[in-house]
Chain A
Amino acid sequence: MTTQNITGLARRLEPFDNINTDYVISGRYKFSIQDPKELAKHIFEDINPDFAKKFKNGDFVVGGYNFGCGSSREQAPQALKASGVSAVLAKDFARIFYRNAFNIGLLLIECDTDEIDEGDKLTLDMKKFKLKNVTRNMDVDIKPIPPLMQIFLKDGGAIGHFKKHGGFSRLDSTVNNS
């Protein structure tokens, strides 16, 4: 995980709440395409056919409540990560998607996304973990990332963590101390 400042544009979704993983990447692609970079060309296609074309490396995906509900498909966070998403910002996240994202090292941030408009320039200070809406010249309050998820991010995801510590034993002691 980088410790640099990340700057990108806000890409707001419509519909805003209950973005399911079928919308992130349709079921018809998960069997025909296995390369996450190819999948990335089809993100949010069913609700916004131009989304992937306009999305630039470093941009932020912005949604409302219950982001990532529905299917357990890990192709959803994979495709977002391969698109170069800096972070997904939402009011809250569905649980399977939440685990999947941190497991593969995709950053999710909970905050009040009503304050972020389409195209707003955002800067995330990874060192202090602060988010600024540069366009509106205001700080966005963000919910702290739980200690366990911070460990996964630092280790490059669950597999990185597993290989570094030889399984769950290290995780067990970390959890108990946190």
Chain B
Amino acid sequence: MNKTIAEKILSDHSGKNLKNGDIAICDVDFCFGQDGTSSIIIDSFEKLGVNKIFDKSKFCIVIDHNSPSPSIGTSTIHKKIRNFTKKYNAKLYDIGVGVCHELVPAMGHVTAGDLVLGADSHTCTYGAINVFSTGVGSTDLALTLATGKNWFKVPETIKVIASGKLPKGVYSKDMILNIIGNISAGGATYKSVEFSGGAISSLSVEARFTISNMTVEMGAKCGIMECDDKTSLWLKKHSKKKSRPVSSDKNANYCDVREYDVSKLEPQVARPHTVDNVCSVREIKGVKIDQAYLGTCTNGRMEDLVIAANILKNRSLHPGVRFIVAPASKMIYLEALSKGIIDLFVKKGAVVLAPGCGPCVGTGGGILGDGEVAISSANRNFKGRMGNPNAFIYLGSPATVTASAIEGKITDPRKYL
């Protein structure tokens, strides 16, 4: 046997012995949409003329992108989604429950070895727990909703081996930004990326989500990791589904193998306006910021809030900076409340938003003014992404975001640790 994880999972779900380049119809274990994509899912589903969804236990919609609704247009879409989930008795996570990529794994909908489709490009997040998960558009999702299947082209695989021990103040976000800068925005298009090596195994599952989440920023179809003891423990805690861990074979065929030693890595940032425009914080320090944003499906988890709180604890926010925090889910929000972290943020002058995608997609709160600069823990810094094409977005780790919020300029967080 010489198969990659992607080849194995797609073979398992098609009943065929597949290798990269093959096209096959596969059974999908779970699928979902969010409020930015579900209106067209519903339209496409209705056009198909079927009157039931394939399995209501394998589908949900999450209202997270524009939540709570800031406009009549959005409210119309939200109402349409609520009517649809009611009609088909389907699972709905309504406003304030959380961001889809936090909820889908945390609520136990997916497990190791699963094949998952989401109508959101960051669906690749669950690769961190050994799931072949990938983003699709709304019509693709509607086809799966009707049939439980879709067509897949089996991707080639790039193997990324990350070795070494991460220095203090350098995180999984810095690792993935560095890798994207190296592979480039289109360097992994239509490919699976397998992450392995000691620097991956030493990360928590939460930190691994950050890496898989951003693999789409280099064009990848999925960013998948093996299921180790940490993964199994995490899955046992979150999901009742029976896991089927999948590893790659020793002689698996890779189209490329990239090795990274993280032991000398410094905090990284992606500069405007592309995610692969990456350099170390040291190279650009001094760039003044107007807003700092901590949250999103990339870095809005408990671990991220704790890192930020520890840095902010005995310090003050820069008076010229608006610090916006959005926990990725209600569960995280509640845990942060019980630990006094939300209390700390609010007392320090941060604005804590309801769980959701918030400022990352530029549709609700936190829209930047002309010429303003933000540092964000999110995954995209495209022109206009945070609602204003005349603004500038830098991406960094939660520690870099918080240190920058304290100094009013982009700052290496290591001096605060």
A162–B147 alpha-carbon span in the complex (Å): 10
Tell whether, in the assembled complex, residue B185 and residue A66 are in contact, meaning their CB atoms are under 8 Å apart.
yes
Contact A66 B37 (CB under 8 A): no
Using Cβ atoms and an 8 Å threshold, which residues of chain A touch B65? 31
B50, chain A: closest CB distance, angstroms: 9
Taking the complex as formed, is B51 at the interface, i.e. its CB lies under 8 A from any CB of chain A?
Answer: no
Q: Decide yes or no whether A86 CB sits under 8 A from chain B.
A: no
Cβ of A163 under 8 Å from chain B: yes
Chain-A contact segment, one of B134-142, B157-165, B305-313, B408-416: B134-142
Please classify how large the interface on chain A is, using the bins under 10, 10 to 19, 20 to 34, 35 or more: 35 or more
Q: Are B71 and A32 in contact (CB under 8 A)?
A: yes
Q: How many A-B contacts if CB must be within 8 Å?
A: 141
In whole angstroms, what is the CA distance A158 to B147 when docked?
A: 13
Of A99-107, A118-126, A129-137, the segment with at least 4 beta carbons within 8 Å of chain B is A99-107
| In the complex with contacts A95-B221, A100-B137, A167-B147 CB distance below 8 A | yes
Is there contact, CB below 8 Å, between A27 and B151? no
| Cα–Cα distance between A47 and B39 once the two chains are bound (Å) | 26
Which of A70, A100, A157, A163 neighbours the largest number of chain B CB atoms within 10 Å of its CB? Answer: A70
Given A75-B40, A168-B149; A158-B140 close (CB under 8 Å): yes
Does A18 contact B140, Cβ atoms closer than 8 Å?
Answer: no
In Å, the complex CA distance between A69 and B385 comes to: 13
Residue A109 interfacial (CB < 8 Å): no
Contacts of B387 in A (CB 8 A): 27-28
Q: Does A31 contact B25, Cβ atoms closer than 8 Å?
A: no
A65 to B187, CA, bound (A): 10
Decide if B151 touches A103 in the complex (CB within 8 Å).
no
A37 at the interface (CB under 8 A from B): no
B85 close to A (CB within 8 Å): no
Whole-angstrom CA separation of A66 from B188 in the bound complex: 10
What per-residue 1/0 map shows which CB atoms of B9-53 lie under 8 Å from chain A? 000000000000001110000000001110110001001110000
CB neighbours of B77 from chain A (8 A): 31, 34
Would you call B97 an interface residue if the criterion is a C-beta within 8 Å of the partner chain's C-beta atoms?
no
Q: How far is the CB of A149 from chain B (nearest CB, A)?
A: 11
Pair A65/B135 contact, Cβ less than 8 Å: no
Q: List residues of chain B with CB within 8 A of the CB of A95.
A: 189-190, 219, 221
Distance in Å: Cβ of B395 to nearest Cβ of chain A: 14
B371 at the interface (CB under 8 A from A): no
Which residues of chain B come closer than 8 Å to A167, judged between CB atoms?
A: 146-147
* CB contact list, A79-115 vs B, under 8 A: 92, 94-96, 99-100, 103-104
Q: Which residues of B contact A27 (CB under 8 A)?
A: 36, 361-363, 384-385, 387
Q: Which of B24, B48, B185 makes the CB contact (< 8 A) with A163?
A: B48
Q: Report the bound CA distance from A175 to B23 in whole Å.
A: 7
Residues of A within 8 A of B186 (CB): 17-18, 65-66, 69, 92, 94
User: Please, which residues of chain B bring their CB within 8 A of the CB of A158?
Assistant: 139-140, 143
Q: Which residues of chain A are within 8 angstroms of B37 by Cβ–Cβ distance? A: 72-74
A17 CB to nearest B CB, Å: 8
State the CA gap A100–B139 with chains docked (Å).
Answer: 7
Task: Verify A74–B219 contact, CB threshold 8 A.
Answer: no
Say yes or no for B383: interface residue by CB 8 A criterion.
yes
List residues of B (181-222) whose CB comes within 8 Å of A's CBs. 185-186, 189-190, 219, 221
Instruction: Flag A27-54 by CB within 8 Å of B: 1 or 0 each.
Output: 1101111100000000001110000000
A74 touches B25 (CB 8 A): no
A152-176: CB near B (< 8 Å → 1, else 0) gives: 0000011100110001100110010
User: What residues of B have a CB within 8 angstroms of the CB of A100 in the complex?
Assistant: 136-140
Instruction: Given A72-B121, A100-B137, verify A33-B383 contact (CB < 8 Å).
Output: no
A71 at interface by CB-CB < 8 Å = yes
Q: For chain B, residues 120 to 168, give those with C-beta under 8 angstroms from any C-beta of chain A.
A: 120-121, 135-140, 142-143, 146-147, 149-151
CB pairs A–B below 8 angstroms (19 shown): A17-B186, A22-B383, A22-B385, A23-B384, A28-B387, A31-B73, A34-B76, A66-B219, A69-B185, A72-B37, A74-B138, A78-B40, A95-B219, A100-B137, A148-B151, A157-B139, A158-B140, A162-B48, A163-B48
A-B residue pairs, 5 tightest by C-beta: A66-B186, A100-B137, A46-B384, A46-B389, A32-B73
Q: Known contacts A26-B384, A72-B135, A168-B147; can you find 16 more A-B pairs with CB under 8 A?
A: A18-B274, A31-B66, A31-B73, A31-B363, A47-B389, A66-B189, A72-B121, A72-B136, A74-B137, A74-B139, A77-B137, A100-B136, A100-B140, A159-B48, A163-B49, A175-B151
